[in-house]
Amino acid sequence: MREISKETLDALATQAIELPSWAFGNAGTRFKVFTTPGTPRTIQEKLADAAQVNRLTGLAPSVALHIPWDLVDDYTKLSEYAQDLGVRLGTINSNTFQDDAYKFGSLTNVDPRIRQKAIDHHYECIDVMHATGSEDLKIWLPDGTNYPGQGDIRGRQDRLADSLQKIYDRLGDEQRLVLEYKIFEPYFYTMDVPDWGTSYAHVTALGERAFVCLDTGHHAPSTNIEFIVAQLLRLGRLGSFDFNSRFYADDDLIVGSADPFQLFRILFEVVRGGGMEAGSPVRFMLDQCHNIEDKIPGQIRSVLNVQEMTARALLVDQPALRAAQDAGDVLAANAVFMDAFYTDVRPALAEWRESRGLPADPIAAYAKSGYAQVIVGERVGGTQAGWGA
């Protein structure tokens, strides 16, 4: 059993996990989207909910926006609104999966007009970034095909490279392009950015401010994700995480809920590769949607899971680990590693939270706060936010 040191707590104090605005709206499967009272109707209400998470955990100082879901007329005003709530606007996420024009591709489409439309959408996102001060443009490319022969795999890559270059060239000097990959869905035969290798090949071709986004739910079964983390850190191209977890496909469950040990291994490689150090290019975000559980406590649970597991990763006795590794003592090395994982960090973190003016138990504090009751009472009428709006 390991003791949490002051160094560990100092490292934890710098951790920030960005929340996705869309986590507070309704989400579901193709079969059913369950609705709940109190669901936000506007980006302002999403920000208010996100601010609750930050207020109770101190972990979530920024909120990612999704364009066009979070389109407003005045982003300066929205930024100020966020600041008043104690949060700031973060990554801008583009969306090319909800327009009929993109049925056969957006940045990869054979039709140059549709490609330009998709490029223009990203220019619009960059405009939003300038208005909000956002650093990252995140592109999750939903393009792909459903049937063998349907599209020209090679031609689609060439067009993608061209489209990405046009977007990248529009970025300001302090802005980054972060390219996410996903093995399948919404297309079921090919995806145009299915794996980290494809994302890596594209971002290295683009330039130094292009990075890979690793979404933990977007891999083939039995992929060793922490290896990819270590490799991308080594190559200097790990830009950000989209945290979530899954048992099967892109299940979008609470980070750490399906395989807590995997989350530990991932965060250990982040620590090992310098991803927690000042100046690291790595950003942490959640990207998960709550189908049946309550949304605000779901996000609180999520950031706490990341924090607790980061604490365990920081607890690993690195000199002892290195010594066992160098000696070829498999069982001893594994034991050092597991010792940190099995240590119950929760009491020490609760105490530390209180020392920083935060509730020891943020979930309980939320329940006591009455916030849920207030929003249920206030948010009557209007259209609940969801993926369609």
Binders of its own copies in range 187-226 (CB under 8 A): 188-190, 194-198, 200-201, 219-224, 226
Q: How far apart are CA 152 and CA 111, in angstroms?
A: 13
Q: How far apart are CA 88 and CA 333, in angstroms?
A: 42
| One of 16, 184, 369, 384 touching its own copies (CB under 8 A) | 184
| One of 3, 7, 73, 148 touching its own copies (CB under 8 A) | 148
Query: Are 44 and 355 within 8 A, CB to CB?
Result: no
Query: Are 313 and 261 within 8 A, CB to CB?
Result: no
Give the shortest CB-117-to-its own copies separation in angstroms. Answer: 15
Q: How far apart are CA 288 and CA 217, in angstroms?
A: 9
Q: How far apart are CA 162 and CA 108, in angstroms?
A: 9
Query: Are 207 and 241 within 8 A, CB to CB?
Result: no
- The residue range among 18-26, 121-129, 144-152, 277-285 that interacts with its own copies, by the rule CB under 8 A, is 144-152
Cβ closest to its own copies, residue 81 vs residue 187: 187
Give the shortest CB-350-to-its own copies separation in angstroms. Answer: 10
Give the shortest CB-310-to-its own copies separation in angstroms. Answer: 14
Question: Residue 322 interacts with its own copies (CB under 8 A)?
Answer: yes
- The residue range among 43-51, 63-71, 167-175, 321-329 that interacts with its own copies, by the rule CB under 8 A, is 321-329
Instruction: Report how far apart, in Å, the C-alpha atoms of 131 and of each of 72, 92, 105, 259, 325 are.
Output: 11, 11, 28, 39, 50
Cβ closest to its own copies, residue 89 vs residue 316: 316
| One of 42, 79, 291, 369 touching its own copies (CB under 8 A) | 291
Looking at residue 253, the DSSP 8-state letter turns out to be B
Question: Residue 342 interacts with its own copies (CB under 8 A)?
Answer: yes
Structure token digits, residue 178: 């972060």
Looking at residue 70, the DSSP 8-state letter turns out to be T
Question: Residue 328 interacts with its own copies (CB under 8 A)?
Answer: yes
Binders in 13-72 for its own copies, by CB under 8 A: 27-32, 34-35
